[in-house]
Structure 1
Amino acid sequence: MHLQSSRKFGLSDVSDAPAYFRQLLQRLQAISTLRPSEFRTAKDKSLRAHRHDWEATTEPGGYAHLTADWRRLEAWQFQLSANKHGRVHGILVDEVFYIVWLDPEHRLYQ
């Protein structure tokens, strides 16, 4: 299983879960129209997709719950909307983005 929910990376502190899920689904729908190369090089400031520099995060060990093979893959994040709803973290493999953490409070870089 890739998706991990915890107190830090989960939805327990989301005050308006319906709005969050609406925004999450809208962003996933928009991302699904992009080719992987477009996602990796997107200049869209509302998406802000980029790879993780684990040493600059609160989780320098990365996705510790994943197998070693999965931990070696490039970890990415994108935001749901400008300055609201936080980020989604995961791994991009071929044409599939595997969500690992939902980060509505943007805690990975605090």
Structure 2
Amino acid sequence: MHKPNKKSSQLSIPKASAPQQKGNGQHGSLLSVHQQKEISKFREEKVMFSYYFLDTAHEAFNCGGGIGVNWFLQLFDNLREISKLNRNEFVVQQRNHYDVHSHDFENTAYHYADRLPEGYFEQLSEDQCLQFRLSSSGGRVHGFMIENTFYVLWLDPHHNMYPDQRFGGLQFFNAPLTPYQELQIELEEWKKKHADLASLLDELTAPGA
């Protein structure tokens, strides 16, 4: 039986090379030119939004309570404007305008770990779990940011993440109905009216009536 050559079967791990020195004796960057270009490109990329983890079934963040179309218009106006910014502009330069900051989960009414799939929250750092406001009293958007993508988790028009008596404290509402559900309810109402009228007609046309 042929025995494998030990030398050929061993993995060869390349030795790490020291950063190249510049002409003045200073060390250059640890990153390659390609890596530096990729990072520079990333810094210029605009903020994007993902709704993969959006949770509208949560009792505190289902957007119930008759918040109305105007709130959603305000939401989309803000998302549009934020999409024109890169990460640094959004998180740092516009911090005061959007009040972008991480969560203090010891003082929140709810925790991301309760809703994200098991093992996901542990992969997030504290400065990745962010919130931003739509206006001083217009509620907030909660999620987490990886690179330049903001993953929306909860829409919070009632400030339920940090309940405040100025905004009515912790508030719960039934989730708003979809257009299909509204039509179903309307259809059932018409069916009942039809059945009542049919019953009345039978009474009026019955023999001896």
- Which category of TM-score, normalised to the shorter sequence, fits these structures? 0.7 to 0.9
Assess if the C-alpha contact under 8 Å between 1:46 and 1:82 holds in 2.
no
Equivalents in 2 of 1:46, 1:103: separation in Å?
Answer: 18
1:8 equivalenced with 2:67 (yes/no): no
1:81 is matched with 135
Q: Which runs of 5+ in 1 are unaligned?
A: none
2:117 is matched with 67
Closer/same/farther in 2, CA of residues 44 and 50 from structure 1, 3 Å limit? closer
* Displacement after TM superposition at 1:33 (Å): 1.4
* Displacement after TM superposition at 1:58 (Å): 0.8
1:99 equivalenced with 2:190 (yes/no): no
* Displacement after TM superposition at 1:91 (Å): 0.9
> Secondary structure at 1:45's aligned position in 2?
helix
* Displacement after TM superposition at 1:68 (Å): 4.4
Equivalents in 2 of 1:21, 1:79: separation in Å?
Answer: 13
1:57 is matched with 108
> Secondary structure at 1:109's aligned position in 2?
coil
Assess if the C-alpha contact under 8 Å between 2:107 and 2:162 holds in 1.
yes
* RMSD (Å) for aligned C-alpha atoms: 1.7
Equivalents in 1 of 2:60, 2:77: separation in Å?
Answer: 23
1:45 is matched with 96
> Secondary structure at 1:78's aligned position in 2?
strand
* Displacement after TM superposition at 1:43 (Å): 4.3
Structure with higher RCO (Cα < 8 A, 6+ apart): 1
**1:9-35 Cα deviation digits (max 9, x unpaired):** 12111432x101100100001111121
Calculate percent identity across the aligned residue pairs.
Answer: 33
1:25 equivalenced with 2:79 (yes/no): no
Equivalents in 1 of 2:79, 2:119: separation in Å?
Answer: 25
Equivalents in 2 of 1:14, 1:48: separation in Å?
Answer: 25
Taking structure 1 as the reference length, the TM-score comes to: 0.85
Structure index of larger Rg: 2
Answer 1 or 2: which has greater helix percent: 2
Equivalents in 2 of 1:33, 1:8: separation in Å?
Answer: 30
The letter of the residue matching 2:67 is S
2:37 is matched with none
Q: After TM superposition, what 4+ stretches of structure 1 lie above 4 angstroms from structure 2?
A: none
